[in-house]
Amino acid sequence: MVYLSVIKDLYNSELVDWKLSKIPDNELCHTNLKSAITKKGKPKLIHSDQGSPYTNETWKYLCDSNNIKISMLRRGNSPYNGTCESFFGTLKNECIYTYKVNELKYSNIYNIISDYIEFYNYVRPH
């Protein structure tokens, strides 16, 4: 299994940064946010679901120390995170499901997703 963390700009639907990991831990999400800050600057606001990487003290400290307001609604009701959930559905339908299971090895999934995100950001209409 592979886990994908994305930071999406809601203004233009661009995926500012993304990271892959074999485990959905704090490091995946925190590294993703730090990298996005380096690339595009500090966002004023970040929306997320209530997964454990986004509800722990380390995430809160990371956001607070960068003056980023955390936006999170109650469980099962995250319309702001819907744009990322929609991207994940699009990624699966337009990319992942076009491969056979035996073609989706960890060694090549990075390139598959990288190519799709390049297409998503710069070619595919939103």
Which distant-in-sequence residues (6+ apart) come within 8 Å of 20 by Cβ? Answer: 2, 3, 4, 5, 109, 110, 113
Into how many domains does the chain fold? 1
Dihedral of the CA atoms 82, 85, 89, 94 (nearest 10)?
90
What would the pLDDT profile of 76-120 be if each residue is shown by its tens digit? 555 667 788 889 999 999 999 999 988 898 889 999 999 999 999
Output the pLDDT for position 60.
92
Longest dimension (CA), the chain: 44
What is the domain extent for residue 78? 3-123
Q: Do the beta carbons of residue 105 and residue 1 sit within 8 Å?
A: no
pLDDT of residue 34: 95
Q: In the prediction, which pLDDT does 93 show?
A: 96
pLDDT over 90 percentage in the chain = 56
Mean of all residue pLDDT scores within the chain: 88
pLDDT number for residue 79: 63
What pLDDT band is residue 49 in, cutting at 50, 70 and 90? confident
Contact 121, 32 (CB under 8 A): no
pLDDT tens digit sequence for 60-74: 999 999 999 988 766
Residue 7 is part of a domain; what is its CATH number? 3.30.420.10
What's the average model confidence in pLDDT over 10-34? Answer: 91
